[in-house]
Amino acid sequence: MAFKSILSLVALAVAASAAPAAPSAVCSQGRLAKNAACCKWFDVLDDIQTNLFDGGECGEEVHESLRLTFHDAIGFSESAVREGKFGGGGADGSIMAFAEIETNFHANNGVDEIVEAQRPFAIKHGVSFGDFIQFAGAVGVSNCLGGPRLQFLAGRSNISRPAPDLTVPEPSDATNTIFARMGDAGFSPNEVVDLLVSHTVAAQDHVDPTIPGTPFDSTPSTFDAQFFVETLLTGDLFPGNGSNVGEVLSPLHGEFRLQSDFEIARDARTACEWQSFLTNHDLMVAKFTAAMAKLAILGHSARELVDCSEVIPVPKPAAVKVASFPAGKSRANVQAACRATPFPTLSTQPGPATSVAPVPPS
């Protein structure tokens, strides 16, 4: 190669690294965006952090907003697309536009509250329901200590059709059923685990309505790996019979375990992905971020949307990056299911066993 063209390559590389993405728009409070179309999202951000998320908390509203990103987007079917049928429009806001239909589906039990809480914000700011739902989830989870900074692409159409019933998995579904449904939306079993990282900032209200706010791990406001170790602990069988027969409860008082999480944690197809997050927070965040980027644009093409990711706040890091056994628990209480990799050495939290506090209602 001629010396001159090497020089110009170097010059190009320097120019590119010095100004990879020069912001072209100055938005409110001097904040910068690459695309002027993103500016309005800073105003949505300010509004929801103050008026929806109680000043930037990682509480009930955030948990519900994150859940809603899934329940809207998973209304999508690759097999329907192949057959030229309508199987749902994906992340299209239909769960808000047609709330009277979709929130009556059994698997959507309880999402009506956050749909109604979010809707006025979307209307006030003139943004599409599909965009708003994904934005609120991304902003919300950035409030959780150690949380991800999710991608946010804007520009989904506000026009949608109601998704059909039975696209959202249920905790009582067999693992094969869940993997088949998720596979039909484009997710591998390991990517289902990656999405289930969300259950580290989660609680139940409606599976057992007598104990609302019961979290899935001991740290429901922290985006950590406690969910992944606590779901692997041996538990007690559900006392009684009926639909809960065979269900294994969390051994931690005040903690709720979904049957689907119990099974996916122990399934040969997914146990190693599950275990891999215990000692690798960066990996857990990276896998979740990648899977959420896919989820958020189901039914869309990234090329048709505008990247406004700079609007999503940078989360505060978690103090603890490796999971530990709750007080009183040890390796002897673990049902390790990954055959390829030994279970990692984890420390045990000091002190007597404590009860997990419920997530307060907002």
* Cβ proximity of 271 and 335 under 8 Å: no
Looking at the Cβ atoms of 72 and 310, the one nearer to ligand HEM is 72
Q: Is 154 helix (H, G, I), strand (E, B) or coil?
A: strand
DSSP state of 36: G
Question: In whole angstroms, how close is the CB of 66 to ligand HEM at the nearest point?
Answer: 4
Question: In whole angstroms, how close is the CB of 249 to ligand NAG at the nearest point?
Answer: 16
Choose the binding region for ligand NAG from 123-131, 164-172, 270-278, 336-344 (rule: CB under 6 A): 123-131
- How does DSSP assign 267-316, residue by residue? -TTTHHHHHHTTT-HHHHHHHHHHHHHHHHTTTS-GGGSEE-GGGSPPPP
Instruction: Based on the shown chain and the rule CB under 6 A, indicate whether residue 325 belongs to the binding site for ligand NAG.
Output: no
- How does DSSP assign 242-273, residue by residue? GGGTTPEEPSSTT----HHHHHHHH-TTTHHH
Of residues 157, 148, 107, the one with CA closest to residue 128: 157
Instruction: Based on the shown chain and the rule CB under 6 A, indicate whether residue 123 belongs to the binding site for ligand NAG.
Output: yes
Here the tokens at position 33 are 């965006």
* Cβ proximity of 150 and 294 under 8 Å: no
* Cβ proximity of 347 and 325 under 8 Å: yes
Instruction: Based on the shown chain and the rule CB under 6 A, indicate whether residue 240 belongs to the binding site for ligand NAG.
Output: yes
Site string for ligand HEM, 203-242 (x = CB under 6 A): xxxxx-----------------------------------
Alpha helix segments (H runs only) across the chain: 3-18, 39-51, 60-73, 78-82, 94-97, 99-102, 111-125, 129-142, 175-184, 189-195, 226-230, 259-266, 271-276, 281-296
Known catalytic residue: 281? no
Site string for ligand NAG, 190-229 (x = CB under 6 A): ----------------------------------------
- Integer Cα distance of 264 and 181 in angstroms: 14
Instruction: Based on the shown chain and the rule CB under 6 A, indicate whether residue 95 belongs to the binding site for ligand HEM.
Output: no
Question: In whole angstroms, how close is the CB of 98 to ligand HEM at the nearest point?
Answer: 20
Instruction: Name which of ligand NAG, ligand HEM, none residue 44 binds, using a CB cut-off of 5 to 8 Å depending on partner kind.
Output: none
Q: Distance between alpha carbon 17 and the CA centroid of its chain, in Å?
A: 32
Letter string b/e over residues 60-93, b meaning 16 or more CB atoms within 10 A of that residue's CB: bbbbbbbbbbbbbbbbbbeeeeeeeeebbbbbbb
Question: In whole angstroms, how close is the CB of 148 to ligand NAG at the nearest point?
Answer: 27
Site string for ligand HEM, 29-68 (x = CB under 6 A): -------------------------------x--xx-xx-
Looking at the Cβ atoms of 115 and 178, the one nearer to ligand HEM is 178
Instruction: Based on the shown chain and the rule CB under 6 A, indicate whether residue 158 belongs to the binding site for ligand NAG.
Output: yes
Instruction: Based on the shown chain and the rule CB under 6 A, indicate whether residue 198 belongs to the binding site for ligand HEM.
Output: yes
Instruction: Name which of ligand HEM, ligand NAG, none residue 66 binds, using a CB cut-off of 5 to 8 Å depending on partner kind.
Output: ligand HEM
Write out the residues near ligand NAG by the rule CB under 6 A. Answer: 97, 123, 126-129, 158, 240-241
Write out the residues near ligand HEM by the rule CB under 6 A. Answer: 60, 63-64, 66-67, 69-70, 110, 169-171, 178, 192, 195-196, 198-199, 201-207, 258, 260
Please identify every residue annotated as catalytic: 71
